[in-house]
Amino acid sequence: MMTFETVLFGAGALVGGKLVWGMFRKSPDPTPYDVIVRINSLEELSTTGWEIVLGQNVDDATSQNPNMGDSRGVVIAVLGSYNRGKTFLLNLLCNTRLPNGNLVHTEGLSITAGRKDAEHTIFIDTAGSDTAIPTDKLDDRKATEALLKEIALHLCSFIIIVVNRLRGSDQSYIRGVLNHSEELDSNKRVFIVHNLMDVITVEDAEKIIKSEIELIFGAKADTFNVGRGKNSTNVKYYSSKKNGKEIRHFIFAKDGSPAAKIWNQQTTIGIINSFSEATTSRRSLDVLNETINFVNTRLPQLVASNYKKKNNLEEPVEQFKIEKRAKKPYIGLSHRKNMEDLTNNPYKFESSQKI
């Protein structure tokens, strides 16, 4: 079974053991992720919930008989603030053409399966942080972005953090991700991709590597070999440590530039090879069900009205749960799953300010 079919199998879109492609709406925008879970707002759970949408690359004629025998692989979370080049990186790693640029925004939890050399891998891209939002939606946005980051970190075996020229906000973001990932699983491998998208010359790239990677992170140059004989490639990267854990730094430069000729191909090969060699990092690719299960553990902390005061302590009033709707490609509140029109009688709650 193809990797994205494993994801859809987990979406429960089955009748008689076959995938029901017609259940899913395809994205109207040129966003060819394979599966998009539109977790754009926690408050959307009060009405319709989160829609599961197919990307335009998914072919209706693909195998209609899923076989869950090959349902394990490597899950990679691609994280970073808004407009750092996460989608550019996915274009290279997945050998596909995901839209990228300042006017294109990744929705919720966007999932794409690796192609060719990256088979049996799933890449999870999340809506970038730091985008502007109306003031009255700030709490909801903060809670939703926190949840998305936690979902991605929970699901993955590898963490890729994408930065451009290093900023103070990037350093804070990296520290937060590393601290949280250590609490979840100290075995998760971490790559920091320095996407120097405005750097053209080899000399400028070397200056930035020295000032930002070697000096700030204390990283040292290292290499590893990929392939054999005439087809072998020597991949250069930089290695730093945090609490005894290795962090690998990889470099990209502006596409088509002299610096890119030095860095981009070897970096792409090196990252993909790291996934294919990581046999001990394989896990279930049923990311939708795992997402639902994880969100259900976090809802009590994310929903403000889910608490009441008792003896000066906050206690849960009721337990919110989400699940997939049986006949529609939505994830919503369990007690509303049988409602025909979910836009009627919205269930009132607010996102917590204690994130």
Domain limits, the chain: 32-41+72-284
Average confidence score pLDDT of the chain: 81
Q: In which band, very low, low, confident or very high, does the pLDDT at 19 lie, cut at 50, 70 and 90? A: low
What is the tens place of the pLDDT at every residue in 291-335? 999 999 988 777 765 555 556 665 555 567 899 887 788 999 988
Diameter over CA atoms, the chain = 73
Higher confidence at residue 259 or residue 85? 259
How many CA atoms within 13 Å lie on the side-chain side of 27?
Answer: 23
Q: Would the pLDDT of 1 be above 50?
A: no
Q: Which CATH class is domain 32-41+72-284?
A: alpha beta
Q: Would the pLDDT of 17 be above 80?
A: no
What is the tens place of the pLDDT at every residue in 91-130? 888 877 656 655 556 788 988 887 766 678 889 988 766 6
Nearest to 108 by CA among 51, 179, 37, 2: 37
Q: Would the pLDDT of 195 be above 70?
A: yes
Cα–Cα distances in Å, from 249 out to 27, 117, 237, 246, 262? 34, 21, 6, 10, 15
